[in-house]
Amino acid sequence: MANVLRMPGVSADSEDATLLEWSVETGGVIASGEPIAVVETEKANVDITADTDGTLWRTLAEPGDLVTVGNPIAVILASGEGDDAGDALLASLGLGGAAATPAAAAPAPEPTPSAAPASPAPSAEPVVESASVAETAAPAAHAGARVFSSPLARKIAVDSGISIDSIAGTGPGGRIVRVDVERAVAAARAIAPESVPAGSAARAAAPAPVPVPTGGYTDTPHSSMRRAVANVLTGSKRDAPHFYLTTTCRVDALLELRSSILAQSSERMSINDLFIKAVGKALRAVPEMNVNWTPDAVRQFDSVDVSVAVASERGLVTPVLRGVDGLSVTQIAAQVRDFVERANSGRLKQPELQGGSFTISNLGMFGVEQFGAIINPPQVGILAVGAVVRQPVAEGNEIVIGNTVTVTLSVDHRPVDGVLAARWLAAFREFVENPFTILT
């Protein structure tokens, strides 16, 4: 029988997701478990798979729409079913049999004359599944008809000062989608760049602002991922009391080990892969650092799972390497490369971005010698790794030129005190400066 495909809860902390694209064209045959659409959550792009065999009969959301989890996005017909089955299902959803034609709003009741003033009765406004209360008030531009629009389109309209009811929709059934609002905003700016946006009477009555000389600028709307990074890290600095420890590691032996491994293996490997391995070994050596803070307890983990900060083409992500202390350096290198490739194409899976107690972030490839990083909550810490620097170092009673790397450890002071963090950092430096110990 016909069934509705709803926006799934692809992330535990996301109430909505942006539909990026349909993987199957309308009318296409689909099989259970087959990808049917791609959505963007706050952390990654995720494939939505069909949970039944059938035909993608009609889509109820357009690419670019921000859809609340649980809302319908498509209708799937079973084999042999016709349009009547789809129309009946749409009618049961309150979208009408045609779904492409917005239903007309109920006419307002005629006032009944009365000899004495009566208390105003509460109005009974029609409920529109994907429209806000403001949009169901039958404004002038859409008088007598419901206004259908996507949540993302409404948000852009509000932020731009454009009245949603003044926009003609080009989506299914005249539904207003993001591109319609962006086109209306561009048109309004082209016609009257200095005027007050429509739909804001209060601003229209205000005196015109004095022009401020400017060299011009371009606004790039926040992506879901950018907003997520901002919200998470703001919360981290607010809620987790950070403290920082810095040390300098001698890495001549580490560089020699890397060269030796590269000479004997076809696998590519970076110095950061060796640092990841050293982080895993240090967390195993000092297990009190392999923890998270929770409201009721300090949670200690059995597995050593380490996140790796990846600056992908789509934004910052931190996929998790599981059981780092038990992986070989070449296995770590291969997995990190896979993470980077899939992060750039938006194909990381949600479970790969969750968990872990610790993160490593390396900006050494950009020549950054030292920096402090913000903890990725609810993890306990993050290690900021700088560039390899050749500088004078003491070797016994002599001064020689050596290769060094400065690292800064950011720690959540709630589950970890300074002495414990210092013990961990000392263990990490010991592994780095005696790198053959990380291979055992």
HSE-up of residue 261 (Cα within 13 Å, Cβ side): 21
**Number of residues written out for the chain:** 440
Q: Which residues partner with 362 through β-bridges?
A: 385
Beta bridge partners of 289: none
Catalytic residue annotation: 413
Ramachandran category for residue 33: left, alpha or beta (phi over 0 → left; psi -120 to 50 → alpha): left
3-class DSSP string for the chain? CCEEEECCCCCCCCCEEEEEEECCCCCCEECCCCEEEEEECCCCEEEEECCCCEEEEEECCCCCCEEECCCEEEEEECCCCCHHHHHHHHHHCCCCCCCCCCCECCCCCCCCCCCCCCCCCCCCCCCCCCCCHHHHHCCHHHCCECCCECHHHHHHHHHHCCCHHHCCCCCHHHCECHHHHHHHHHHHHHHCCCCCCCCCHHHHHCCCCCCCCCCCCCCCCCCHHHHHHHHHHHHHHHHCCEEEEEEEEECHHHHHHHHHHHHHCCCCCCHHHHHHHHHHHHHHHCHHHCEEECCCCEEECCCCCEEECEEECCEEECCEECCHHHCCHHHHHHHHHHHHHHHHCCCCCHHHHCCCCEEEEECHHHCCCCCCCCCCCCECEEEEEEEEEEEEEEECCEEEEEEEEEEEEEEECCCCCHHHHHHHHHHHHHHHHCHHHHHC
